[in-house]
Amino acid sequence: MQNVKWWDAAAATIAIVIVALSLLDPPYGADDAATWAFAGVFLLLHLAWGRRCVPVATPRTHLAISITYAALLAFGTAVEPSFAILQAFFYPFVWATSPSTRSAIVANIVLAVGIVVGYAVRSWPAGLATGAAVAALSAGFSVALGLWITRIAEYGEERARLLDDLQAAQGQLAAMHRDAGIADERARLAREIHDTIAQSLTGLVMVAQRTERRLAGVGGADAASARSDVELMEQMAREALTEARGLVASLAPVDSDAGLAEALRRLATGFERETGVRVSVTTDAAGLGRELEVVLLRCTQEGLANVRKHARASAAWITVSAEGDGSDADAGDAAALARREIVLEVRDDGVGPAVDATGDGIAGDAGFGLAGMRDRVALVGGRLEFGPGEAGGTVLRIIVPRAGVAAEDAAEAGPGDRGITTGGAS
């Protein structure tokens, strides 16, 4: 009750009750008049000074108001024992406005002394025992209840502080994850641009410089050589442009809200429009979780980026199918359905992957694109296969388990997954 208006109402109510109790016992005399006067003094004292201590008083002010209230309680109780009802206001007030637990306990003791003094003055020596009993009961109850409520308040404040610290730590962790993701993406882009566009443009600059030197002394053979260099510059510029377009396309996020099948069709349509390579899409797996759909979609983007940059293909095929023990799944067995694997295949009719210098492996198999795909697929417990197709070209296969990737779990990933972008060459 830290609203001063509530304390004003409580003080007025206590004063009215004291006056009303004295009015119940006519005829009225000097004691009754003194009681009314003390009730008025209490009300004026609260309005002039006490209410300014709300919500929390300084230690010196709190001690001063406590002593003043104790003196008023002693004088009032000495005139009329019913004046002790003011304890119902004083004890909660000194607890609520106390700057510390110690100050509140001291104020309780001061008020208790005031009660004892008031009763003792009114009827010595019997009043001393009565006052001591009343003071012990009221002050003991006040201290016990005050300490209990204070402990609860401190516990609540501690929990609120811990919650704020936890939320701040979560915010910092999320910021660190975002920063790490941005840093990784920037590093990947830097490597990608260095290995593709930067290399091509560097060669273009060198050829241009060589052409400038040859054209300085134009002759028959030099002129022919210069024209050859210009043609080479045009070819290299076109290759650099193709690399740039492929990089931009591979980084562009694709909205998968409409489902995996529709997202793959949109991706294929855009790829066919930009490159002229015919792309066929076949999907035979429904009910996949959000996380699994994002993984398959990003791997498809990466596969098409490799087709664009390396395959020199005229057609490509994207297939998503479910493999494994499907006999029970057809009958509605959820466990059998969960055991099935989802297979993504990106195949083209191009030149196929190049063999490395040793002849023991595929060139580019450790590239950034394939490495990124392997990491992404490994997070969902899948595996990646990459190599030449039986009828030529290149085949990229992504096999991921359907079990453990529930739609509700994937939904927790939130809209941030939609912005995941992958790209780059294998």
Tens digit of pLDDT for each residue in 136-187?
Answer: 999 999 999 999 988 998 899 999 999 999 999 998 888 888 877 876 776 6
pLDDT of residue 211: 76
- Determine, yes or no, domain membership for 150: no
Domain end call among 122, 147, 170: 122
Domain end call among 79, 103, 122: 122
pLDDT of residue 366: 44
- Determine, yes or no, domain membership for 318: yes
197 pLDDT exceeds 80? no
* 262 shares a domain with 118: no
- Determine, yes or no, domain membership for 92: yes
Task: Return the SS3 of 385.
Answer: strand
338 or 262: which carries more pLDDT confidence?
262
Domain limits for position 96: 4-122
pLDDT of residue 418: 37
407 pLDDT exceeds 60? no
Say what the pTM is.
Answer: 0.45
419 pLDDT exceeds 70? no
234 or 46: which carries more pLDDT confidence?
46
Tell me which of 37-51, 74-88, 224-238, 287-301 is least confident.
224-238
331 pLDDT exceeds 50? no
* 416 shares a domain with 272: yes
Confidence of residue 48 (pLDDT cuts 50, 70, 90): very high
332 pLDDT exceeds 80? no
Q: Are 312 and 349 in contact (CB under 8 A)?
A: no
* 262 shares a domain with 113: no
Determine which helix (DSSP H) or strand (DSSP E) holds 344, and give its type and residue range.
strand 341-348
- Determine, yes or no, domain membership for 228: no
pLDDT of residue 115: 92
Mean per-residue pLDDT, 98-124 = 92
Sign of CA dihedral 249, 251, 255, 260: positive
- Determine, yes or no, domain membership for 398: yes
Sign of CA dihedral 151, 155, 158, 160: negative
Q: Which residues contact 264 (CB under 8 A, 6 or more apart)?
A: 281, 283, 297, 300, 318, 320
73 pLDDT exceeds 50? yes
Domain end call among 122, 143, 170: 122
Task: Return the SS3 of 306.
Answer: helix
- Determine, yes or no, domain membership for 127: no
* CATH code of the domain covering residue 274: 3.30.565.10
192 pLDDT exceeds 50? yes
Nearest to 414 by CA among 179, 184, 178, 183: 178
- Determine, yes or no, domain membership for 338: yes
Q: Are 215 and 222 in contact (CB under 8 A)?
A: yes
Calculate the average pLDDT of the chain. 80
Alpha helices in 314-421 (DSSP H): 334-339, 368-379, 407-411
Q: Count structural domains, the chain.
A: 2
- Determine, yes or no, domain membership for 232: no
